[in-house]
Amino acid sequence: MDYKNYIEIRKISLLYYQYCFVDTGEYLADGIFYQNRITVRYGAEFVREGTRYRFIFCKIRKKDRSIFFKSMEELKKKMLLTGHGDYEYFCERIITTMKRWKDSGNFPNKVV
């Protein structure tokens, strides 16, 4: 599984890394974070009506970065096991678009 289901938000911080990851309304990542004993500070959450997935912004301690990456890999597997077969396609499509916007610095005013 080579695709990413998260994107790093670059902000200067001595203690934290910030990410945006893709999850479902059942919040499957929460159980994985708990199981892996990682403290996650949640921020904004965005969901579009009629979609299965939501974008969740979070902060993690710098020392927990490798555990976060491991948790994201586990989330991919859990999505497949719980019947979210389109998760990989959704993540590839949206993360690629977000990276393109981020790299160009030309964010759209409205995402349709």
Q: Which three-class secondary structure state does DSSP give residue 6?
A: strand
Q: Residue 11 has what pLDDT?
A: 87
Q: Residue 65 has what pLDDT?
A: 96
Q: For the chain, which domains are there?
A: 6-104 (3.30.1370)
Please state at what angle helix 65-81 crosses helix 28-35, rounded to 10 degrees.
130
Give the pLDDT of the chain (112 residues) as one tens digit per residue: 578 999 898 888 999 999 999 999 999 999 999 999 999 999 999 998 888 999 999 999 999 999 999 999 999 999 999 999 999 999 999 888 877 877 776 665 554 4
Comparing CA positions, the residue from 67, 58, 70, 65 lying closest to residue 21 is 58
| Alpha-carbon gap, residue 6 to 17, rounded angstroms | 12
